[in-house]
Amino acid sequence: MAKIGTYISEAFEELKSNVTWPEWAEVQRLTVIVAVFSVLFALATWGVDEVFAKALAGFFNWIKA
């Protein structure tokens, strides 16, 4: 159990002393960029899904006729 405590304390020390954290303004800017691209990717995925759904529906209607 002592090894786990040592590991956790060393991990926190590593994060405090050796990790370079970005400035808050940069974090906000990058968060907005990720959110915008996530929305764009979701819309693109939705659009492709709609196109394929309509194409398949048309194909099956063509086969039935």
> pLDDT tens, 2-38?
899 999 999 999 999 999 999 999 999 999 999 999 9
> Taking residues 45-54, what's their average pLDDT?
98
Q: Is the pLDDT of residue 50 over 90?
A: yes
For the chain, what percentages of helix, strand and coil (3-state, to nearest 5) are there?
A: 90, 0, 10
- Measured CA to CA, the distance from residue 53 to residue 11 in angstroms comes to 49
Q: How far is CA 13 from CA 16, 24, 35, 37, 51, in A?
A: 5, 21, 31, 34, 52
Query: What is the pTM (predicted TM-score) of this model?
Result: 0.65
- The pLDDT of residue 30 is 97
> Taking residues 29-54, what's their average pLDDT?
98
- Measured CA to CA, the distance from residue 44 to residue 38 in angstroms comes to 10
